[in-house]
Chain A
C-alpha cells in the first residue's frame, strides 16, 4: 500500500468531503484509487484533483466511506493505484454531465469554457456545480429542489449538442444508458465512466466486468461506440457474490 499524510480535508457538501495529499505521481482525469481503511474495507474512489496536490472526493454511502469522511488533516491515507483507463481528452468545448457523486471524477476536466449538466436526487446532493463559469451550468434534481425537475437526460436534452466537441459523462449506469440512447445516433462524440461492484482493481476478480471487459483495467471510461455494442450495459451486472442481477433504477 502507498501511504500519505492528509494535508487538508475540505467539507464540500452534505456527507461529502475532499481529502487532499501530496503525491508525486502522474494521474490522469478518469483514473481512480483503491483506498484502504484498515479495520473497515477497501473501496474504489475516483480522483477529483490530479495536480501535484492530489484529491479524492468521497460521499458517505456505506460503512467504509462513512469512516473515510471522518479522516482529518494529519491522518494517514492508504491506497493502491492509480488505476484505470483515463478519459481521452479532446481539444475543444467540453460538455460535462455528472450524476450524484459521479461529478467527482469529472472535476479535473472542468475548464473555463466547459459546460456542465450537474444532477442529483435533491439540491443538497448537487456536487461541484459551483466549479463551472457563470452561466455554464444546468442543474437538474429528481425532486425539483434546484434547477430542472427531472433526470440528467432532461438537462442534456435542453442543450444544443452541436456546440460541443466532446461529451464526458459519469454517474449511475441507467443515467448513462439514457444519455447513450439519446446521443447514439447524434454526431457528438461521447465518453462514459462506469461504476460497478469492484474488488481487486487490477483486472482479475471479474466483479466489475461488462461484456468481457474489466472496468478497472480496460475502463472505467468507454467511448460511445464501445458501449453501443455491449449486451450488459444498462441491463445486468454481477453483485459481490457474482450473482447476475438486473440493473435497478437509482
Chain B
C-alpha cells in the first residue's frame, strides 16, 4: 500500500505538494481553489507591514524554460490580509503565511499577525531577488538571518520556514545561520534579466528579475542536496518542478516536501492531482511505501 502523505516541521501534508509563494496566492478565493485542486497546502504571497503596489508592468516575461518576474513585493499590507487568510483557511488545509521585512522586529510583528490570523506556519522571505532593502539583501547577511530566526522562534508557537536565496556565495553559511528554523525552503528565483532587441532595453520595468521554472530545476536540486548533506535540516524543495520525476528528484536530494509555482502557468491547476496520481504509480513500481523512505536517498 502506497502512502503519498508526508510531514514537514511537524505539519502533516496529504501529499508532498504545496503552492509556492508568489503564484496565485494574493486572493483568498484563489488559494481556496488551489487547495480544492489538490495542493496539500498553500503559501501566501509575501506580505509586508504596509501596502505596496509593486513595479509597473511588465512584471512578468515568459521566456524559454520558464518565467522571469519582478513584481516588486506588491502586497496589501498585513492588516489588509486578514480577510484573505480567513477565506483560504476555509479549505481546512495548511496555509503558510509568507512575510518579508527589513529587520527582526518587522518580521516578528508580521509573524505574530499571521499566527493570529490562523496561519499554520510562517515562511520568511529572505530571498526576493529584486527589491532593495528586502529579500536577498536581508537573507545574504548571516548575522541578520540568525537574529530574525532566533527572535521568531522565541516568540511564535507555529513553525518557522526560512526561504533562502541561490544568489549568495555560500548557501551553507546562510543555512547554518538559519539553523533554528523548523525547515528551510530552497530555492527562491535566480537573479536574471531579459532584453528586447527591437526595443533595445530590458523588458522588465525593474530591469532585473528572478528566473523560475524548468531552467532552474537542476540548480534547486543541487542546493537541496548540498544543504541537506551539510546541515541535515528538514527541507522544502522548490524550483522548476512540473512533473512527478522532478518532484522525486527533489525528494531524493533531501526534500521532505516541495512547492510548485511556475508550472501552474505551463501545466494549469490540475498539476497537483496529476502529479499525485503519477507519484503513486512511481512509488509502487519502485517499491516505496512512504515518502519518508525516499527523502535524501541520493545523498552520499
Is B279 in the interface zone, CB < 8 Å from A?
Answer: no
Q: How many Å lie between the Cα of A231 and that of B83 in the bound state?
A: 14
B72 to chain A, nearest CB (A): 10
A230 to chain B, nearest CB (A): 9
How many chain A residues touch B (CB < 8 A): the figure is 37
Q: How many Å lie between the Cα of A78 and that of B57 in the bound state?
A: 13
Per-residue contact bits, chain A 105-132, to B (CB 8 Å; 1 contact, 0 not): 0000000000000000000000000000
B80 contact set on A, CB distance < 8 A: 243-244
A contacts with B: majority SS: loop
A52 to chain B, nearest CB (A): 22
A209 contact set on B, CB distance < 8 A: 24, 27, 29-30
Per-residue contact bits, chain A 64-105, to B (CB 8 Å; 1 contact, 0 not): 000000000000101010000000000000000000000000
Per-residue contact bits, chain B 22-36, to A (CB 8 Å; 1 contact, 0 not): 011111011011101
Is A19 in the interface zone, CB < 8 Å from B?
Answer: no
A240 contact set on B, CB distance < 8 A: 53-54, 74
Contact residue among B67, B74, B75, B198 (Cβ-Cβ distance under 8 Å from A204): B67
Q: Mark out the residues of chain A between 209 and 250 whose CB falls within 8 Å of any chain B CB in the assembled complex.
A: 209-214, 231-232, 238-244
Is B203 in the interface zone, CB < 8 Å from A?
Answer: yes
A210 contact set on B, CB distance < 8 A: 29
Q: Which of A35-43, A147-155, A170-178, A185-193 participates in binding chain B?
A: A35-43
Interface residues of A (CB under 8 A from B): 1, 3, 34, 36, 38-43, 76, 78, 80, 199-207, 209-214, 231-232, 238-244
Closest 8 CB pairs of A and B: A212-B33, A243-B76, A42-B57, A242-B26, A200-B60, A240-B53, A41-B56, A242-B76
Between A and B, 10 residue pairs with Cβ closer than 8 Å are A1-B203, A3-B196, A34-B58, A38-B199, A38-B201, A41-B56, A204-B67, A206-B45, A207-B26, A244-B76
